[in-house]
Amino acid sequence: MPAPVFPASLRIACGLLAGLGLLGQVAVAAPPAARELPDFSRLVSRHGATVVNISTAQRVKRAPLVPAPGDQGDKEDTEDYGELLRRYFGEGAPEFLDETSLGSGFFISSDGYILTCAHVVEHASEIIVRLIDRREFNARLIGLDRRSDVALLKIEASALPKAAIGDPARLAVGEWVLAIGSPFGFDSSATSGIVSAKGRSLPNENYISFIQTDVAINPGNSGGPLFNLRGEVVGVNSQIYSRTGGFMGVSFAIPINTAMQIVEQLKGGGRVRRGWLGVSLQEVSRDMAAAYGMNSPRGALIADILPGGPASKSELRSGDIVLEYEGRPIGLSSDLPPLVGLSAPGSRARLALFRRDQGMVTAQVVVGELKEEGGAKPAAQPARREGGQLGLAVSDLTAQQRKREDLDHGVSVDGVDDGPARDAGLRSGDLILEVDGKRVNSAEGFNRVIAHAPKGRPVVLRVRRAAAAIYLALRVEG
């Protein structure tokens, strides 16, 4: 039998290793990566039956099939189209058309309760649930919540396999996870990946702190479960980030503990009552933390308190930095709204705050109920740029400005050039109301305060921009 042939470089390396007595050791070493890769087959076998395919139908009003008044279009094309309609529909086309959509869900109880995404079943006139054993059921919509994208369905069956519920707080970034669903209608498809990040806040989704993964999620996966390696559901696959409409490696899941809290409210009354503080929030920058004397930037800065809201009737002040809510630490401003949203309206919440003139304090607030029009919206974030000098021109408020803005103090920012003012995020048209908690009444007074500001740490400006109040940290150079 001829000897196997290896590349010359490998023959030379093996000869060197043999000469050193190391070849045997190298030959028996197994690649560590191969031993660490998970086998998902047992997880799919044990828990795949808890996942269902959801198909929906909805009746939508047909768009006009003739040119709108005033739009003549192409006469010949219009006549041909009319002939086509008569051929297929007789003298008239149907007023409504049926549209279908696909999604996924999973059993959370053995008596037929199914958790899925609200966008999968919203506006559906018929919901059909298909199990892994090919049985089909008409499902009843118990309730849905658009803000969290959670919906609860019910089928009339018993002894169903229910999913085990896990704890998303125990998830670690880099941990393996598995999704099972029906992408493009392909039932019981399994895709795997890792947890990319936790606590993600998405635009217009202030009340959900998402789990980000790189698990392949496509149309039809929505509403399906995200499993950890113990076979526990830790999330509900909800959204993807994509520039093409298809999967691009960034997927988002609703934490299962959040989804189950929404489910309990939907079971109880078919709707969700969400907590509300009536504050506007912004991030704590490094300069802002330095201005407050904090060791590192963290927490949610209360930029403004809405008149008549729950916070306005409490001990909270604008300028407070919320560090804890009901004992839960707040690292970023986006951490606070989901916790407030899950608080029962009417309950009393305890907050740990950092207040500039007092240090650590606590405050209590009676949580209100969020209406569709209300909410805690992040204030506009300032743009940061390089600069060398202060570069700031201010003037006294005019009588018209005082009346329009309903202000009895402040100065108007007339111009911002390169320098610390632009670096802090000040813009022309801003109104500076306070410096380090002290009211500003005139341009002369503002310049005097700035001239005597302590060197080595930023000063905190309270600024009115449009209808919102924000805080900016301005470094005053010596």
Catalytic residue IDs: 119, 149, 222
- Residue 361 phi, psi (nearest 5): -140, 165
What's 231-264 look like in SS3? CEEEEEEEEECCCCCCCCCCEEEEEHHHHHHHHH
Any idea which residue has 């403004």 for tokens? 304
Q: How far apart are CA 124 and CA 308, in angstroms?
A: 38
The pair of structure tokens assigned to 388 is: 């060398």
> 198 exposed, middle or buried (CB, 10 Å; 0-12, 13-18, 19+)?
middle
197 has which bridge partners? 212
Structure tokens at 208: 């959900």
Contact predicate 163/233, CB 8 Å: yes
Which amino acid is residue 373, in one-letter code?
E
Amino acid at 230: R
**Residue holding tokens 């951490």?**
335
> What is d(CA 365, CA 315) in angstroms, rounded to the nearest whole number?
7
Confirm if 154 and 139 have CB atoms less than 8 A apart: yes
Closest CA to 142 of 275, 56, 235, 264: 264
